[in-house]
């Protein structure tokens, strides 16, 4: 019968289209990544690694380095900041209020939640102190609470800046303080409607006068409509004194972490790129943020590669799109970046550390580690090196997911782990 034959063909097509999420085991990194053809599978691959506790295990670090959990039982630690006196601040929370618009959103959110912590959003900043310098952070206290999904942290000239999901706020800070002296002062409101990508990353210029806030897009690829993308997918430059803002660079889909390059004062970011174009598209990237530049989202990626899903298209914007500096690989979900210092050891002296939260829509999971991208003459040079691994074990289980990475001037790397609700500290063995 004709109908049955059509059906057999259909089910075959259905099965075929379900494959194709495999992807390369090793992805192209660097300034000129291989960009395969766009794929559109009927069933997007979703692979959530089963979360388990670390137990007596720890992330693996290079020989000559040690890693310790300096704080546990936090409430979703994301980004950290080392204060002038060596105290560490940890921003804890989870934001977003994106409505579920399609049946898909309902199903996908249930699946994604499997790979995340079940802990409630902390909405606070915790302070960790190691008074005697023995590497044990004996003091763990709440520095400020009742914040709204705080994420980006920055310090300059006696002022502590916190990027909540809806506003940039400021605390006065005196050396040695363990608790904020009062409620924060608002510097400026930040775009907060929907907050599909809610994290507001933050960096402060070396002179303390300009603040930079990374604002993620309100969708994967405009599926919530173009109207909700006003003031999204960009980095704002904010005057610290007046709170006045202007777009500094645009077309950055989700700039999840910002940092200033020591010496040059250049702003750098890691950006999470779009999904559902295949396992090896689109590469997440590390890039200097060029003032006034347009980085493509939503119309194109990696320069002029047009994304037909963003309609109506905008050829003029595509023509103006610039290429980012360095591919980190697709779907790694880079959420942290910081420049290294010579105290981190010869091999890791010049470059950036990048925290990769790990993929959720790739059959061959990638990320789930902290990498080091070596620099030379102020630019990325060479292949990335693994710095902390084992967050996703060989047994296929996930013990942790790295978020923010911060270089401690004492020569240590602080890693926030929002699955294990732990802050790790990697040090050189003496």
List interacting residues with other proteins (CB under 8 A).
1, 3-4, 6-7, 10-11, 13-14, 40, 42-44, 101-104, 219-226, 275-276, 308-312
In whole angstroms, the minimum distance from the beta carbon of 18 to other proteins comes to 9
Residue 316: which H helix or E strand, with range?
helix 315-320
Closer to other proteins by Cβ: residue 35 or 257:
35
The residue assigned the tokens 């670090």 is 61
Instruction: Give whichever of 308 and 382 is closer to other proteins, judged by the CB atom.
Output: 308
Rounded to whole angstroms, the Cα distance separating 323 from 36 reads: 16
CA angle 348, 349, 350 (to 5 degrees): 100
Q: Could you tell me the smallest distance in angstroms from the CB atom of residue 228 to other proteins?
A: 9
Best CA proximity match to 284, nearest among 294, 298, 273, 268: 273
CB nearer other proteins, residue 84 or residue 308: 308
Q: Sheet with 234-239: list strands edge to edge.
A: 200-204, 210-215, 234-239, 245-250
Instruction: State the Cα–Cα distance between residues 213 and 193, nearest whole angstrom.
Output: 16
Strands (DSSP E) along 263-360, which ranges?
267-271, 283-288, 300-301, 305-306, 326-330, 334-339, 351-356
Count of other CB atoms within 10 angstroms of residue 53: 11
Q: Which is nearer to other proteins, 317 or 410 (CB)?
A: 317
Which of 223/239 has CB closer to other proteins? 223
Write the DSSP symbol of residue 228.
G
CA–CA separation, 217 vs 225, rounded Å? 11
**Spatial contact of 191 and 255, defined as CB atoms under 8 Å apart:** no
Minimum distance of other proteins from residue 298's CB (angstroms)? 8
Structure tokens belonging to residue 134: 């023995």
Nearer to other proteins, 275 or 338 (CB): 275
Query: In angstroms, what is the minimal distance from the CB of 225 to other proteins?
Result: 4
Residue 335 sits at φ, ψ, to 5 deg, of -125, 0
CB of 254 to other proteins, least distance (A): 14
Beta bridge partners of 156: 159
Mapped onto helix, strand or coil, the DSSP state of residue 157 is coil
């Amino acid at each position: 019968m004709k109908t049955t034959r059509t059906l057999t063909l259909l089910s075959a097509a259905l099965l075929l289209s379900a494959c194709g999420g495999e992807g390369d085991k090793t992805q192209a990194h660097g300034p000129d990544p291989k960009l395969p053809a766009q794929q559109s599978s009927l069933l997007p691959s979703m692979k959530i690694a089963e979360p388990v506790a670390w137990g007596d295990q720890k992330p693996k670090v290079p020989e000559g380095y040690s890693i310790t959990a300096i704080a546990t039982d936090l409430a979703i630690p994301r980004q950290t900041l080392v204060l002038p006196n060596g105290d560490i601040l940890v921003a804890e929370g989870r934001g977003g209020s994106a409505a579920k618009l399609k049946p898909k959103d309902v199903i996908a959110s249930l699946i994604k939640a499997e790979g995340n912590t079940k802990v409630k959003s902390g909405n606070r900043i915790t302070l960790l102190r190691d008074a005697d310098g023995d590497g044990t952070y004996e003091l763990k206290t709440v520095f400020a609470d009742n914040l709204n999904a705080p994420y980006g942290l920055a310090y300059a000239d006696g002022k502590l800046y916190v990027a909540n999901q809806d506003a940039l706020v400021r605390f006065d800070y005196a050396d040695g303080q363990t608790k904020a002296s009062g409620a924060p002062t608002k510097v400026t409101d930040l775009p907060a409607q929907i907050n599909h990508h809610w994290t507001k990353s933050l960096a402060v210029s070396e002179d303390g006068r300009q603040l930079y806030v990374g604002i993620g897009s309100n969708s994967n690829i405009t599926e919530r409509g173009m109207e909700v993308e006003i003031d999204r997918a960009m980095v704002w430059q904010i005057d610290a004194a007046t709170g006045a803002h202007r777009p500094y660079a645009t077309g950055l889909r989700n700039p999840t972490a910002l940092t200033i390059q020591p010496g040059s004062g250049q702003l750098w970011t890691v950006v999470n790129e779009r999904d559902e174009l295949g396992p090896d598209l689109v590469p997440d990237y590390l890039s200097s943020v060029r003032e006034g530049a347009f980085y493509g989202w939503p119309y194109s990626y990696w320069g002029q590669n047009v994304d037909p899903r963003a309609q109506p298209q905008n050829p003029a914007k595509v023509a103006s799109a610039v290429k980012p500096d360095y591919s980190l690989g697709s779907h790694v979900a880079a959420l942290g970046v910081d420049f290294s210092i010579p105290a981190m050891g010869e091999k890791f002296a010049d470059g950036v550390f990048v925290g990769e939260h790990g993929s959720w829509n790739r059959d061959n999971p990638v990320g789930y580690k902290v990498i080091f991208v070596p620099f030379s003459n102020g630019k990325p040079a060479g292949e990335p090196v693994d710095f902390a691994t084992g967050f996703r074990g060989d047994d296929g289980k996930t013990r942790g997911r790295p978020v923010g990475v911060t270089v401690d001037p004492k020569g240590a790397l602080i890693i926030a782990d929002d699955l294990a609700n732990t802050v790790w500290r990697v040090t050189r063995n003496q």
